[in-house]
A and B are shown apart, each in its own frame.
Chain A
Amino acid sequence: MLTRGVMTRWSLATRRRWATHIFTVLVIAAWAIGSSGVPSYLFPDPVTVFHRSVEFFLGYKLFSHVVASVTHVLVSLTLAFLLGGALALMAHYVPVTRAMVHGRITPFLNSFSSVGWTLLAILWFGLNTGTVIFAITAIILPVCIINLQAGLESIDAEMAEMGRSFTRNWGRYFRLLVLPAMIPFMFATVRISFGVAWKVALTAELFGGNSGFGFVINLARQSFDSSQIFAVITIIVVIYVITDNLVLAPIQRRLVRHYADD
């Protein structure tokens, strides 16, 4: 009777929040219980995995792999953004090239598999950083082209015309009108590409790299070190969730609010 009264007084939002926390606790509890009965090779327990994850940030040797993966992702992101931006701009401002970029280059890149790029890059460049960066860049390039194209297309035609009637200077027009209008889209591009790159880096590094998380997983796999594999996966997921929810999403919300108002 009493609990029912409490239940109805609680708003749906509160109950939702509690349900979410209870779910989180239940999952970790299930993990702990489930892992206690089976060999740690199949299912390492959460405490071990937590310790192994923290180790990555304490020792120089393991931390260097964290740095390597982050570097791979950032360099590829920059390359793909610049290249994708150049292609999207060309397709937008030189209309005859539109069919070439959006009808040929993008669909082709988009349907090519990440493993395909990685294995080809290994044959071309060998096992090294260049291979990893090439593979990641090739995979996120179509993502960049598609998102930046959407941004360019969103620029109001009348506004563009007004801009051109004020100045004939292309640099000024681009800097004062196109660039500000593109900022939310550029940021969205970075956010989506980061997510894809961060996850796919693992594949590229596992097959084609000599450093980074994927490389660590490959070694762990060969020595059946499951807790190391779980630790890497945990770090990847945690870093992704933190960067996306606590850094990128708030900035994007602010940008959208700022640029949508005027």
Chain B
Amino acid sequence: MTDVVTTSAPHATADGGVRHAFLSRILADGLIAVVIAAWWLMSQRLPAIVLPGPWAVGKALVDLFTDPDSLMHIAATALRVIGSVVFATLIGAFLAGLTYYTPVLQDVILKRIQPFLGAMPSLGWAILGLIWFGVADLTVIFIQTAILIPFCLINFTQGLRELDTEIIEMGHSFTRSKRLIFLKLIVPLMLPYTVAALRLAYGVCWKIALVSELFGAETGVGYVMLQAQILSDATTVIATCLVIVVMFAAGDTFVLRPLSRIVAR
């Protein structure tokens, strides 16, 4: 009797689990199907400048990824995103390092620079960048780096705060060289936070890339989008939004997530 109960109970839950998983899958993917169907139905009744159909947008998306001219724009945005993420991570690490090695400056960085950068709207940087540096690749990189620094800084200071003091103490008992402790202990201990900072910055950067390119660039996805908006070309506007989603997902899935798995090990 008890045997039956113990063997049938997991079966029942496993069975329920399978049904549950199936149902939740249906709901999740069903939603996408419903949204696309509703989108298609609505686009039938509305003019294409208001709501283009999913088919037209999909075609525009494929065109954006195959046409050499627009590929150049996507590549320009991607390169600037990568550059800004690297700069912001380096500057964030440097500032966080300052709080660690020169405690006097801790409040300057955490109570002045960090809150200021955090409070600054991305559009503010976009306009300042345009005023100061004009339309150029470096302007966009400046804008994006300025926006990303607070995100990176928070991650690094968090990491330094959670740094195991006992391990560092042990390090001090082995060597007096600060350089050795930095290279052999702090850098490896901070690696997971570095990857977390990179991932966060990468995600934020693709989203704000459009803002920073709307004023400061003559290339890039943001530029393509603004041109489309001026021409009331809703198809391209939606397609460029999806380009951002695709590029973000691709970088995160194929580069950053594997990287964070390697570092976690």
Binding site for B on A (CB under 8 A): 12, 15-17, 19-20, 23-24, 27, 41-43, 95-100, 103-105, 108, 111-116, 119-120, 122-124, 195, 198-200, 202-203, 206, 214, 217, 221, 226, 229, 233, 236-237, 240-241, 244-245
Shortest Cβ distance from A237 into B: residue: B119
Q: Is the Cβ of A20 less than 8 Å from the Cβ of B112?
A: yes
Of residues 73 through 113 on chain B, the ones whose CB sits less than 8 Å from some CB of chain A are 103-108, 111-112
In the complex, the answer to whether A206 meets B131 with C-beta atoms within 8 Å is: no
Query: Which residues in B have their C-beta under 8 angstroms from that of A116?
Result: 210, 225, 237-238, 240-241, 244
Within 8 Å by CB of B122, from A105, A119, A203, lies A203
Interface of A is mostly: helix
B25 to chain A, nearest CB (A): 7
**Of all chain B residues, which has the CB nearest A116?**
B241
Q: How far, in whole Å, are A20 and B102 apart by their CA atoms in the complex?
A: 13
Does B120 belong to the interface (CB within 8 Å)?
A: yes
Query: Does B116 have its Cβ within 8 Å of any Cβ on chain A?
Result: yes
The 8 closest A-B pairs by CB, nearest first: A116-B241, A199-B121, A115-B210, A240-B119, A99-B28, A20-B107, A100-B28, A233-B124
Among B196-252, those with CB < 8 Å from A are 203, 206-211, 214, 222, 225, 229, 232, 234, 237-238, 240-241, 244-245, 248-249
In the complex, A199 Cα to B245 Cα: how many Å?
22
- Chain A contacts of B30 at CB under 8 A? 100
Contacts of B51 in A (CB 8 A): 124
CB neighbours (8 Å) of A203 from chain B are: 121-123, 211
Instruction: A104 to B34: give the CA distance in the assembly, Å.
Output: 13
**9 A–B pairs (Cβ distance < 8 Å), ordered by A:** A16-B107, A27-B112, A112-B244, A113-B210, A124-B51, A198-B121, A199-B120, A233-B127, A241-B116
Task: Name the residue of chain B whose CB is nearest to the CB of A203.
Answer: B123
Q: Contacts of B50 on A, CB cut-off 8 Å?
A: 123-124
Q: With the chains together, A194 CA to B203 CA distance in Å?
A: 20
Beta-carbon nearest neighbor of B31 in chain A: A100
In the complex the two chains form, what is the Cα distance from A27 to B108 in whole Å? 11
Minimum C-beta distance from A31 to chain B (A): 13
Q: Is the CB of A114 within 8 A of B207?
A: yes
* Known contacts A42-B132, A202-B121, A233-B124; A115/B234 CB under 8 A: no
In the assembled complex, which residues on chain B have CB atoms less than 8 Å from the CB atom of A114? 207-208, 210-211
Contact B20 A17 (CB under 8 A): no
- Given known pairs A16-B106, A20-B111, A115-B211, the reply for A99 and B123 (CB within 8 Å) is no
CB neighbours of A214 from chain B (8 A): 123
Cβ–Cβ contact B121 & A123, under 8 A: no
**Secondary structure at chain B's binding surface: helix, strand, loop or mixed?**
helix
Bound complex: CA of A132 vs CA of B248, how far in Å? 25
- CB within 8 Å for A41 and B131 given contacts A116-B244, A217-B123: yes
Across-interface contacts of B244 in A (CB, < 8 A): 111-113, 116
Q: Which of B23, B119, B120, B211 has the most CB of A within 10 A?
A: B119
User: Bound state CA distance, A120 and B235, in angstroms?
Assistant: 10
Give the chain A neighbours of B103 by CB distance below 8 A. 12, 16
Contact yes or no, A199 B104, CB < 8 A: no
Q: Which of B27, B209, B248 has the most CB of A within 10 A?
A: B27
- Give A214 Cβ to nearest chain B Cβ, in Å: 7
Complexed CA–CA distance, A16 and B107 (Å): 6
Return chain A residues, CB-CB under 8 Å to B49: 123
Bound form: Cα–Cα A120–B236 in Å? 11
CA distance in complex: A17, B112 (Å): 11
- Are A119's CB and B131's CB within 8 A? no
Asked if B115 contacts A245 (CB within 8 A), the reply is yes
- Judge whether B32 is part of the interface by a CB distance below 8 angstroms: yes
B175 at the interface (CB under 8 A from A): no
- Whether B124 contacts A236 by the Cβ 8 Å rule is yes
* A112 and B20 contacting across the interface, CB-CB below 8 Å: no
Partner of B241, one of A95, A112, A199: A112
Does B24 count as interface, using CB distance less than 8 angstroms? Answer: yes
Query: Are A99 and B25 in touch, CB under 8 angstroms?
Result: yes
- State whether A19 and B131 are in contact (beta carbons under 8 Å apart), knowing that A96-B24, A116-B237 are contacts in the complex: no
Residues in B neighbouring A104, C-beta threshold 8 A: 28-29, 31-32
Nearest residue, chain A, Cβ from B103: A12
**Bound-complex Cα distance A253 to B70 (A):** 50
Residues of B close to A23: CB separation below 8 A? 108, 112
| A115-B225, A123-B49 known; A97+B241 contact, CB < 8 A | no
Q: Contacts A15-B104, A113-B244; is A120 near B28 (CB within 8 Å)?
A: no
Minimum C-beta distance from A225 to chain B (A):
11
